Amino acid sequence: MPKPGKAFIFFNCDAFKNEASMNIFYNHEVYKDTKTSRKNLWKRIKEECGAERIQIATDNLKAVELAITEGDPVTASDYIQFGAIRMIDCY
């Protein structure tokens, strides 16, 4: 079996990031582990923040952007309230 790639999903969720609050049917976009997809994921995060569906402290915006665009997007979840990014294997 070939080695899987990575894909990321952004979820709106409760303040405790309970997986039961992460609805794949509401958040149905998957972002591949490519530069373009990561930029689109960052764009989505900014839109959600601007619409006040998630919260990110102003001091943490740059850390979230760097984690998504250049690092491990899952770590950006630590700075996002009412939102989380999860990684899945993609074949």
- The structure's pTM equals 0.93
Question: What does the DSSP 8-state code read for residue 16?
Answer: T
Average pLDDT over residues 42-65: 97
For residue 16, give its domain range: 5-90
**Whose structure tokens read 């690092």?**
71
Average pLDDT over residues 70-82: 98
**Using CA atoms, how far apart are residues 10 and 84, in angstroms rounded to an integer?**
6
pLDDT value at residue 1: 76
Q: How many domains does the chain have?
A: 1
Residue 51: HSE in the Cβ half-sphere, 13 Å Cα cutoff: 10
> Two tokens at 76?
């950006």
